A = this chain, B = another copy of it.
């Protein structure tokens, strides 16, 4: 006599549990062999109606739930070791679970981060997916937020602000003149983050501090600065933008504030001494990940400033996104 939960796990998630330590999801716990590394542990949850939309395709929900955690591992300089999953569902729904589990399995393989275990629970409320992900670093080598020093360069991967525009589109925002393909690109950036695991090693080797940008570039930079006991200046013109974001910005100059404070970028923000830049750029190029110098760390107490081309501060209404 097998319970509904066991059936659900066997059907949808057992095929994903390919790591030996997962024990086929048939035990109470998983084994994560130590191998002498430090384990980096991160946990992020996504809630229907808050972090993803009810009508987002289930495969994108799965990818986002895992990738927001992989993004944290990448920013900490860690190689993925596996993850566990808590899935809260109103009822087991084949049409939703099948693509959800398939995409989760594809991403687990793609990023070499196997499912180790999980819990499925019934809830009358919205779907919620909480993932705890594990990564390995050599002992003492996790890249923290608190190591930035005055004089360090500030670097961000990829492009900033696309996801917040994608969400705006999904919520019905008007985007005069934006082609369908450009709109689709922005929506995809909201729904399916690209964790920068290819940069993990280079960040570990070169960065003095790093974090992933998930709640808005300027707000997250302020957190990094507070943790490090420094301040920072960002050049607006140096913030990397995608072609669709650039096109949108060209019609609405005030949009820059939103681009640097909107959530869901899942890019890496890091600081490093200037003499590390060339080697980091080479490593990033080899990893196929674009990186941009956006500003500089200065002495201070956690103040962050966005400057225009003439050196004047661009005032922001808010610097980050909060769900509460």
- The reply to whether B27 and A145 form a contact with Cβ atoms under 8 Å apart is yes
Quick one: given A5-B322, A28-B42, A38-B31, are A119 and B123 in contact (CB under 8 Å)?
Answer: no
- The reply to whether B323 and A5 form a contact with Cβ atoms under 8 Å apart is yes
Q: What CA separation (Å) do A41 and B25 show in the bound complex?
A: 12
Q: What CA separation (Å) do A119 and B132 show in the bound complex?
A: 10
- The reply to whether A119 and B43 form a contact with Cβ atoms under 8 Å apart is yes
- The reply to whether A322 and B4 form a contact with Cβ atoms under 8 Å apart is yes
Is A128 located at the chain interface by the 8 A CB criterion?
yes
Is A294 located at the chain interface by the 8 A CB criterion?
no
Segment at the interface with B among A83-91, A153-161, A187-195: A83-91
- The reply to whether A31 and B142 form a contact with Cβ atoms under 8 Å apart is yes
Is A29 located at the chain interface by the 8 A CB criterion?
yes
In the complex this chain forms, how many copies of it are found?
A: 2
Contacts of A139 in B (CB 8 A): 33-34
Contact with B along A228-266 (1 / 0, CB 8 A): 000000000000000000000000000000000000000
Q: Return the contact of A29 from the options B85, B119, B128, B142 (Cβ within 8 A).
A: B142
- The reply to whether A121 and B5 form a contact with Cβ atoms under 8 Å apart is no
Contact with B along A24-52 (1 / 0, CB 8 A): 00111111111111111111111101110
Is A118 located at the chain interface by the 8 A CB criterion?
yes
- The reply to whether B121 and A124 form a contact with Cβ atoms under 8 Å apart is no
Q: Which of A38, A39, A139 has the largest count of B CB atoms less than 10 A from its CB?
A: A39
Quick one: given A38-B34, A219-B3, are A122 and B323 in contact (CB under 8 Å)?
Answer: yes
Q: Smallest CB–CB gap between A300 and chain B, Å?
A: 15
Q: What CA separation (Å) do A75 and B27 show in the bound complex?
A: 11
Q: Smallest CB–CB gap between A271 and chain B, Å?
A: 14
Is A211 located at the chain interface by the 8 A CB criterion?
yes
- The reply to whether B122 and A123 form a contact with Cβ atoms under 8 Å apart is no
- The reply to whether B34 and A34 form a contact with Cβ atoms under 8 Å apart is yes
Quick one: given A39-B39, A117-B43, are A28 and B76 in contact (CB under 8 Å)?
Answer: yes
Which A residues between 102 and 117 are near B, CB-CB below 8 angstroms? 116-117
- The reply to whether B121 and A123 form a contact with Cβ atoms under 8 Å apart is no
- The reply to whether B8 and A123 form a contact with Cβ atoms under 8 Å apart is no
- The reply to whether B124 and A227 form a contact with Cβ atoms under 8 Å apart is no
- The reply to whether B43 and A78 form a contact with Cβ atoms under 8 Å apart is no
Q: Smallest CB–CB gap between A14 and chain B, Å?
A: 13
Q: Smallest CB–CB gap between A148 and chain B, Å?
A: 13
- The reply to whether A28 and B145 form a contact with Cβ atoms under 8 Å apart is yes
Q: Smallest CB–CB gap between A11 and chain B, Å?
A: 12
Is A222 located at the chain interface by the 8 A CB criterion?
yes
Is A319 located at the chain interface by the 8 A CB criterion?
yes
Q: Smallest CB–CB gap between A16 and chain B, Å?
A: 15
Contacts of A27 in B (CB 8 A): 76, 144-146, 211, 227
Which A residues between 57 and 113 are near B, CB-CB below 8 angstroms? 72-73, 75-76, 78, 84-86, 88, 91-92
Quick one: given A1-B318, A319-B1, A324-B8, are A45 and B130 in contact (CB under 8 Å)?
Answer: yes
In the complex, besides A43-B119, A123-B126, 8 extra interface pairs with C-beta distance below 8 angstroms are: A1-B320, A6-B223, A27-B76, A28-B76, A34-B139, A43-B85, A47-B121, A50-B123
